[in-house]
Amino acid sequence: MVNPLYLFAASLAAAFLLPLVDKLGRRVSLALVYATIAAWGAVALSYLWALLYAGVGARAFGTAGFVAPLAIMLRVGPEEAAGLLAISGVGLLAAGAMRRPLAEAPIGGAMTLITALMGMSGIVLTRDLFNLFVFLEIASISTYGLIAFDDRRGALRAGFKYMIAGGIASALYLIGVIYVYRFSGHLNLDMAAAAPGLFGGAGTIAVFFLLAALLVELKPFPANGWAIDAYQTADPGVSAILSGASATALLLALWKVMPLLGEAHLAAVAGSGLATFAAGNLAGARQGRARRMLGYSSVAQVGLVAAVAALDRLLGLGGLRFTYLVAGGLLLNHLLAKTGLFLLSSAIGDDEAARGGAAGKRGEGALSPFGAVVAGVLAAALVGLPPFPGFWAKWTLIQALAGRESWWLIALILGASLVEAFYVLRWLIAIVKGEAGALAKGERGTIEPGAPIPARIRLGAGALAPALAAAALVVSGVMLGWNLSVSDPLLWAPFAAAAILFAIDRAPGWLKSLLSIAAAAAFGWLAYDRLDGLRQLFAIMLLGGGAMYSFAAMYKGGARRGLHPLLSAATLALGSVLVAETPLGFFFAWETMTLASFLLVLRGRESRAAALSYIVFGLGGAFLLMVGLVAIPGAWSSGSTGSAGAGWPVFLILAGLLVKLGALGAHVWLPGAYAESDDEASGFLSSSLSKAGVFVMVVALAAFGRVLPFQATSMRILGWIGLATALFGALYAIYQEDIKKTLAWSSMGQIGYVILALAIYDQAGWTTALYLALNHFLYKSMLFLAIAGVIQRVGTRNMYEMGGLIKKMPFSFLSVLMAIIALSGVPPLSGFGGKWLLYSSLLEKGWYIEAAVAFFASAVAFLYLFRLIHTIFLGQPKPSQAMVREAPLALTIPQGLLMVVLFAVSAFPRLMLDPIMRVVGEAFDPVLRFEGSALVSPLGYWDGTLSMIVTIAVFALCFLWMIANLHNPQTVKQFNIVYAAERPFRPETTHYAWNFYAPYEKALGFLTRHRGERFWAAVGTGVDAVGGAIRRVYTGNGQTYALHVVLYVVALYLLMGAL
Amino acid sequence: MNALEVLAKINPVAASGAVLVLVGLWGVMAKPNLFKIAVAFSVMETGVNLVILSVGYIRGRTAPILDSAADAASASARMTDPVPQALVLTAIVIGLAVTALMLSYAVRLKAGGGGSSIESYGEEKW
Amino acid sequence: MMRKVLVTLAILGFALALLPLAYRAGVQDRPGALAAGYLDDAPRELGAANVVTAIVVSYRGFDTLGEVAVLFAATAGVGAMLTKKRLGPDAASGRGTPATEVLRTATGLLTGLLVMFGVYIFTHGHLTPGGGFQGGVVIATAILLNLMSRPESRLSHGLMTGIESLSGAAYVALGLLGAIFALGFLDPRILPIGRVGSLLSAGSVPLIYSVIGLKVGAELSGILEALKGDRE
Amino acid sequence: MEPTLLGRIGYAFVSLFVITNYGLLLIGSMARISAKVQGRVGQPVWQPYIDIIKSSAKRNAIGHGVMFYLGPVFRLAGGIGTYMFIPAVFGSVVFRNFSDSGDLLLVMYFIFFGQLGMALGAGEGGHPYSAIGVSRGLAQMTAFEVPFALSVIAVAVQYGTLDINAIVAAQQGGFARWTLATNPLAVVAAIIAFLGMSGHNPFSVVIAPQEIPIGPPTEYQSNLLGMLQTNRAIFNGAKLVLYMNLFFGGATNIVAMVIKTFLIYFVNVFVGQAFPRFRTDQSIRFFLGVPTLIGIASVIIAVI
């Protein structure tokens, strides 16, 4: 290994000579700067190689020809090497992005940049407590210089505050270090840690001072206003260095002094870190300015990393490997994502207006596709979505905490993570959808719906550094995942598909469609051996559905950029949910699905709010699921059934799934997500993706349903939740003017029936559930595909703006007709089978009132279904829609296929029911059985084939009579009818289909005041208010910040004394 | 232990250093003038330096320099602890650097027309 | 009011943490093992009469290198921040009252003496109290007197930068020589350690302290000039 | 002896013929009764026959499109189908129809078949009044289905089956075994629901015979209207038979069926003549109020 001292020598020599070199021109001197930073990175890489692959052990280096205790020692071990790499990496990215300001400012800027990074590296390497102080000061003082180097007004203000806090911290450190020397007799860390004097009594206090200084430097809540101001105002490159490199160095410094710490110290670190994580994220929730928001996120993340290291020591979470993985993973994730995002915020051009630069104008507009991908990767990583390091770290952390039964810590960490996800993704949505300018001006993003789509922002060279950070995140995430033995290629297939399709995003849509279908087919082929009966059924809906929607996506011409990669990724993610064999693998697949579907929703036109609530609820549900999974040992291990000891965690899993399924109460994300995404994506979400939740619920209930606490009551409650979902879904649907909203609410209602049927928990109930799920897939696909065609042809989603399309789009009409007959459960189509099964199993179970309510709900469904078909296809044609044509083949072909399938399974119910009953029969004693073509329950019977024959026969009879008796009718046109109305102010009010069910609303409207929305809005307001209250701490006054720092230290001291 | 014994145990250098630290800290938190804050930091640093020195102090011994008072053979028996003295040298220089930068900031801020009170530089907040 | 109470509380709380610590540390009655080791070994190993200097320049020479870097970073920061362009024309010199006769006369008398004294201090750092920093500060005092007595005067910026850069580079080079010809980076034993107490002893310590003295003097002078506000 | 398929079809036609004629006569006689109550002479009892023949003979004046023509087909098929799934006379081979296709649930849902098709057919006519009538009708339907469903559940619970034949079988052996005697609350709820189902006063706002010129039928004329009129007879008959089977012990012969269904229908007309009309929202609230509670009570009784 290279002696790191040479790097210090080289850096200092470069820095010292820089003013002279600068005489040769700024290009030369900047090249020297980059070369110096790169040298650190290269050496760090060589260290890592030697330590991890060449099998060389950690090594210590003496200075001045002596060794400890006389001389200062440097140590190169794995964490040091990684830290050096992180610092130089961030430094290089930031320095690259800062090329222009560095070139324009005096050479002092470049000099302090070198010394800052060298100082941080020294913090990482040294094993001497006082030498650590020297490097802390090199880093701090260089940072003070860097903050001000390009003379931003705000940065100057912030820099002074930064200095005040840094000054107090260094005084604390000095006091600490000298007394550590006094009580231990050493300045060398390892020797001091071995000395007895530091543990107990005054030694503890001495170590406390040392620790307090490091904690203050790590920006704990509430003593971190100074840092956040600096993040906000400094050059984004400097902010990136502060947030990424400096935090890495300081965390490693904390890591280094850990051996000196006693229990009380560790508790202080953990408590302070967690409080910072929670408070930082809450304060960030209110933040509209991008960089300040990133600042809050930074302090929060660093707090979490610090807490993790301390928690491991306190609770024994898993030792060194655990800390490397979790703290290291979180840190890596944080520093790359934050570096990327800070630099991205600079490339977008926000805040530049504050300097009067012309670049401020660039802030208006949406990101270019490439920029959007980069931003998406960075934000997704920050939020902890797969496959990035934060995801793996979060899982391992939660798993370890669950092993120690620290439920409150889990709740705190996940709650704060959710808040963080909320504001980070809000920002992502804003910049991707074109509100970057609004945010740059410090306002919360509001753009009137219907405003012209702003121009695309092309990042140009500014995208390089963020893109590199994003690439590093991807690579490290994949490596970490592999390391945690998530190495099943099928689990990674979604990302591969997305990457390949993104790469050819400019290719024509049909090509990408075909590739997507091929991908789904290949996935199914490869996974076939691992699919049991149940999984095969779901594979039809998930993979088959995905492929079908990929096909349908051809209905709009053009490249449809971004759609196919996301659709394909979501499809394959659904597939990987089916094949996952470990809890982690499953959760990975689940979160991948969440991510892909979120982006799919985001692609919609007016989908900002919808996408945000979709992902927040999606993540919230996923977190519940995750806690449930880690809390049950052996959950999701293949073939685990009826594991004892699974108690309340099962409820968490169920709750998470109910959120995902949009059960009443947690349904507020649903209408927006289903309505605002692209039309075929809506269909995919509603008919395919929602089945993933059903699938997991089936598996979870199959494994744990019998050992649930209070089994009967729990199931009854679950049933009522499903029932309420069904009823309210239908009730909400009938008042919608927006066709897709109608379908969205309808989906919610239909899923409600599935939940209800699952709760019945016997063979009849589960047969019902799976039958309903498959049927819902069939007819909801038909509806969404047909409606996609309609919307494409008429260009609106408001039903009252349509009418009489039966003559223009007869095939779509037929498809919708079949679908609504099936959906409403009218015999002889297969929907009736679902109704019959549902009522039979409910009555058999003895759930009579439930049966009555279900009957009511399904009657209500008639209302919206009739309205749907009537308003669109019947009634008066609109003159403006005279030229409408039938939907494109890409939509009608799948509909035709689905119709054939629908008829087949209606006439021959055993086609569908036999496989279902075979699957269900493995878990339950039979209640239902077939006698010939008749399905027999203890209460009654249903012969689908015979009823189909009778119906067809009767229908044919009547039809013949009608034809035989038809006497030369005269077909009349639209206006051959009496109209007597004047044109009022709002034209839609004259449309008979507007406010179609006014009397109904008068009678039962009180049921449909959206209480769910109000509740969640209140939760949101609450979080917002808490965040608002927290951030009032940050008054902007440097002295108040100083007071915070001192009070923080005092409070920590007193608390530690109390412990 | 009576009061006299307690007093005898007090390290006078440390005590005065600690008081200076508190005074400096008070100045940092209570005096809004930018330049006074810089001065308060100097006071605090001086206090810290005194505290550092106090640790090396041993009653009745000589400075750690070989001269007539102490030769190489009796060095460890007759000299004070040299380590804090070496450390304080570094600490002083670093303190100097901080003071210099802080004053530069103050000069630069004042030249920007914002006055010398820290209260007028609180634009970044919340 | 609230604020005053909080400040008082903060001070009291801090005192509560600091005073017991200082009290319990008390006064040592003999140096610890490490200190005794330095006292016994420094003269023998390095030939430095001043044990503190031996520690500062060699045993903990890496600290000193860092210390030089700190000062350097501060100078760079100050230099980048305080330029005439950034401060605006108003901030430049000429505001101050003209220097008094006493100051001007004293400056003329003292400048040479101060520079000489500074050089003495840093060249004898291994023998007597003092060293590169102290010497450099004394030299900078001479510059300060000149800046105060003739506000309109300019330092040669190029010269200062040159001294600073080259002396810094020389320090690093001396350190590297230690790595090549002796046992490690910054090892002063590249020259004979000589007889304890003589000027040419303690290996390269006097050399190192000399370049440090020059560097510190130049840097502090630069900071003083920058604070004056008329640097281009 | 199990009849052959051809035989079953033949029997079905017989059964259908009987119910059609009976339904027509029933309508005719009820209209006459209403007239008497209102102090008019009224139409002859066979007027429905005349209407159908006249309509079928007329030229079709207007057509709106495929769905327009299919509406009456759906409607009539719905009526006949519903009847076909109900055993009309207990123990009779001729009148058992195709009740082995499914149980009570099939019948309840097949009722919607005709209504849906009719609504769609009328919808294509494009006349706003059709839409208004349909929206009211559907809205009211959801409400009266609740007490109806509850009473059906009560019956199913009581007899432990959803098989109509089995329900009738369980009621054999005298009045005391009828649902009317064993669970009168279920019958009350069901009869109230029946008022809504048949659209007489006070729940006649759906077709609003005077104000809105009878909604969907407005647009239909000639043979299409004839089909609707035929359906009215069959459908009425089917529903009456269903009620009879569920609540009034069924019928073991044709005469019993005629008497029982006449009486059930008469209740309907009787109430219709005595009460004014509800607005739609009022009737929705009405059905979800007291009748629903009665229905719940009947389920509770059945469970006990």
Average of per-residue pLDDT across D215-226:
70
Flag whether B126 is in a domain: no
Indicate if the pLDDT at residue A973 is higher than 70.
no
pLDDT confidence of residue A114: 95
User: Which residues on chain B are in Cβ contact (under 8 Å) with A1034?
Assistant: 125-126
Could you tell me if residue B65 is inside a domain? no
For D130-189, how does the pLDDT look when each residue is reduced to its tens digit (9 = 90+)? 777 888 888 888 889 899 999 999 999 999 999 999 999 999 888 888 989 999 999 999
* Integer Cα distance of A689 and A747 in angstroms: 11
Give the max Cα distance, chain B: 64
Q: How high is the pLDDT of residue A434?
A: 66
Query: How many residue contacts between B and C have a Cβ separation below 8 Å?
Result: 167
| D146 contact residues in A (CB cutoff 8 A) | 852, 855-856, 859
**What average pLDDT score do residues A170-183 get?**
94
Residue A499's alpha-carbon distances to A377, A503, A568, A569, C176, in angstroms, are 12, 6, 10, 9, 49
Per-residue pLDDT tens over the stretch A503-550: 898 888 899 999 999 999 999 999 999 898 899 999 999 999 999 999
Residue C5: its pLDDT value, please? 92
A869 touches chain D (CB under 8 A): yes
Please report the pLDDT score of residue B2 as a whole number.
Answer: 74
| Tens of pLDDT, residues D258-278 | 999 999 988 888 888 888 888
State the Cα–Cα distance between residues A818 and A812, nearest whole angstrom. 10
Q: Is the dihedral of CA A47, A53, A54, A56 positive or negative?
A: positive
CB distance D104–A959 less than 8 Å? no
pLDDT > 90: what percent of chain D?
35
Whether D216 contacts D119, CB under 8 Å? yes
Q: Does the beta-carbon distance from B22 to C18 stay under 8 Å?
A: yes
Contact D142, A862 (CB under 8 A): yes
CA distance A139 to A781: 60
Tokens of A208: 């406390």
**Residue A122: which pLDDT band, with cuts at 50, 70 and 90?**
very high
Give the C-alpha distances (Å, rounded to integers) separating A534 from A227, A696, A702, A705, D50. 54, 11, 11, 17, 60
Residue-number span of the structural domain to which B94 is assigned: 3-58+80-119
Query: Which residue among D105, D136, D295 sits closest to A839, beta carbon to beta carbon?
Result: D105
Rounded mean pLDDT, C73-100: 76
Separation CA C214–CA D279 (nearest Å):
102
Position with higher pLDDT, C22 vs A981: C22
**Segment C48-66 mean pLDDT:** 90
Alpha-carbon distance C205 to C47, whole Å? 10
Query: Measured between beta carbons, which residues in chain B are less than 8 angstroms from residue A286?
Result: 126
When pLDDT is cut at 50, 70 and 90, the band that residue A456 belongs to is: low
Pick the residue of A734, A838, A866, A990 with the most D CBs within 10 A to test the interface with D by mutation: A866
Assigned domain for B15 exists: yes
A141 chain-C contacts, CB cut-off 8 A? 70, 73-74, 77
What is the distance in angstroms between the Cα of C70 and the nearest Cα belonging to chain B?
6
Among the partner-chain residues D58, D101, D161, the one whose CB lies closest to the CB of A947 is: D101
Pairing type for strands A456-457 and A73-76 reads unpaired
Judged against a pLDDT cut of 80, whether residue A190 lies above it is answered with: yes
Say if the Cβ atoms of A1034 and B112 lie within 8 Å: no
The reported pLDDT for the residue numbered D41 is 85
User: Is residue B48 assigned to a domain?
Assistant: yes
Half-sphere exposure of D63 (CA within 13 A, CB side): 18
Q: What would the pLDDT profile of A638-678 be if each residue is shown by its tens digit?
A: 545 445 556 788 889 999 999 999 998 888 899 889 988 88
Do the strands A456-457 and A366-367 form a parallel or antiparallel pair, or are they unpaired? parallel
Q: Do C51 and B56 touch (CB under 8 A)?
A: no
What are the backbone dihedrals phi and psi of residue A964, each rounded to the nearest 5 degrees, phi first?
-65, -30
What dihedral angle (degrees, nearest 10) is formed by the CA atoms of A843, A849, A854, A855? 80
- C109-158, pLDDT tens digit by residue? 999 999 999 999 999 988 888 888 999 999 999 999 988 888 777 777 78
Q: Say if the Cβ atoms of B119 and A1037 lie within 8 Å.
A: yes
Mutate to test the interface with C, among B31, B55, B62, B66 (most CBs of C within 10 A): B66
Q: How confident is the model at residue A134 (pLDDT cuts 50, 70, 90)?
A: very high
Cα A1034 from Cα A284, distance rounded (Å) = 12
State the DSSP string of A263-302.
Answer: HHHHHHHHHHHHHHHHHHHHHHHT--SHHHHHHHHHHHHH
Report pLDDT for A352. 36
Which residues numbered 700-719 in A keep a CB inside 8 Å of some CB on C?
none
Dihedral sign for Cα atoms in the order A545, A548, A549, A550: positive
Q: Do A827 and D113 touch (CB under 8 A)?
A: yes
Please identify which residue in the block is written with the tokens 């550092």.
Answer: B52
- Sheet-wide strand order for A941-943: A929-931, A934-936, A941-943
Q: Rounded to whole angstroms, how far apart are CA atoms C220 and C223? A: 5
Contact A965 D135 (CB under 8 A): no
Q: For residue A356, what pLDDT is reported? A: 30
Alpha helical stretches, state H, chain C: 2-25, 33-46, 51-54, 61-81, 84-87, 101-123, 132-149, 157-181, 205-228
> Could you tell me which of A580, A390, A604, A602 has the C-alpha nearest to residue A490?
A580
* Among the partner residues A807, A946, A958, nearest to D65 by beta-carbon distance: A807
For the ranges A168-172, A282-286, B112-116, D211-215, the lowest mean pLDDT is seen at: D211-215
Calpha distance A565→A505 (Å, rounded): 8
Asked whether residue D213 carries a pLDDT value surpassing 60, the answer given is: no
**How many percent of chain A have pLDDT more than 70?**
92
Most confident of B71-80, D217-226, D244-253: D244-253
The CA distance from A764 to A592, in Å, is 33
Token pair recorded at residue A761: 């928990």
Give residue A271's pLDDT: 94
| Pairing mode of beta strands A456-457, A929-931 | unpaired
Contacts with B34 from chain A: Cβ below 8 Å: 160
pLDDT score, position A452: 40
**Residue D36: CB atoms within 10 Å:** 12
Identify the pLDDT of residue D211. 44
Start-end of H helices in A632-678: 649-661, 669-676
Give pLDDT tens digits for A888-922. 999 999 999 999 999 999 999 999 999 999 999 88
CA-to-CA distance for A239 and A245, rounded, in angstroms?
A: 10
Cα separation, A720 vs A752, whole angstroms? 9
> A246-256: b or e for each residue (b if 16 or more CB lie within 10 Å)?
bbbbbbbbbbb
Which pLDDT value is given to residue A66?
A: 84
| Confidence band, pLDDT 50/70/90 cuts, at residue C70 | very high
Instruction: Give yes or no for C200 touching B (CB within 8 A).
Output: no
Question: Nearest Cα to A388, choosing from A336, A427, A463, A345?
Answer: A336
A729 CA to chain C: closest CA distance, Å? 54
Cis status, amide bond into D276, omega within 30 of 0: no
**Least confidently predicted of A589-603, A784-798, A925-939, B67-81:** B67-81
Residue predicted with more confidence, D282 or B9: D282
- If one counts every other C-beta atom within 10 angstroms of the C-beta of residue C24, the result is 16
Summary mean pLDDT of chain A? 88
Residue A900 · residue D150 · CB < 8 Å: no
Taking alpha carbons only, the member of C45, C230, C205, C89 closest to residue C150 is C230
Could you say which DSSP state residue A798 is in? B
Shortest Cα distance, chain B CAs vs residue A359, angstroms: 22
pLDDT in the model for residue A418? 94
Alpha-carbon distances, residue A1030 vs A157, A413, C157 (angstroms): 22, 17, 49
> Kind and range of the H or E element at A60?
strand A59-62
* pLDDT value at residue D304: 80
Q: Which two tokens stand for residue A578?
A: 């089916």
Q: What share of chain B is helix, strand, coil (3-state, %, to 5)?
A: 70, 5, 25
Whether residue A361 is predicted with pLDDT greater than 60 in this model: the reply is no
| Own/partner pairs, A970-976, CB within 8 angstroms, 24+ separation | A970/D60, A970/D61, A970/D62, A970/D63, A971/D62, A971/D63, A971/D64, A971/D65, A972/D62, A972/D63, A972/D64, A974/A804, A974/A876, A974/A877, A974/D126, A976/D62
- Banded pLDDT at D96 (limits 50, 70, 90): confident
Residue B66 lies in a domain: no
Q: Residue B25 maps to which CATH number?
A: 1.10.287.3510
Cα–Cα distance measured from residue A81 to residue A78, given in angstroms and rounded to the nearest whole number: 5
- Does C122 contact B at CB distance below 8 Å? no
Rounded percentage of chain C residues whose pLDDT exceeds 90: 33
List of chain A residues whose C-beta atoms are within 8 Å of the C-beta of residue C178: 64-65
Q: Which of B43, B52, B126 to mutate to test the interface with A (most CBs of A within 10 A)?
A: B126
Q: State pTM to two decimals.
A: 0.91
pLDDT tens sequence across A717-743: 999 999 999 999 999 998 888 999 999
**Contact flag A826-D67 (C-beta cutoff 8 Å):** no
Residue A138 clears pLDDT 90, i.e. is over it:
yes
Residue A336: the pLDDT is 95
pLDDT-based confidence at residue A457 (cuts at 50, 70, 90): low
| pLDDT tens track for A29-73 | 999 999 999 999 999 999 999 998 888 889 999 888 888 788 999
Per-residue confidence (pLDDT) for residue A1000, from 0 to 100: 83
Task: Check residue A978 and give its pLDDT.
Answer: 45
B72 falls within a domain: no
For residue A440, what pLDDT is reported?
Answer: 36
Residue A716, burial from CB neighbour count under 10 angstroms (0-12, 13-18, 19+): middle
Assembly ipTM: 0.88
The pLDDT tens digits for D23-53 are: 999 989 988 888 888 888 888 889 999 988 8
Contact between A974 and A877 (Cβ < 8 Å):
yes
Q: What is the structure's pLDDT at A439? A: 37
Q: pLDDT category, A634, cuts 50, 70, 90?
A: low
> Which of residues A620 and A450 earns the better pLDDT score?
A620
| Interatomic CA distance for residues D261 and D198, integer angstroms | 14
Task: Return the partners of chain C (3 or more C-beta pairs < 8 Å).
Answer: A, B
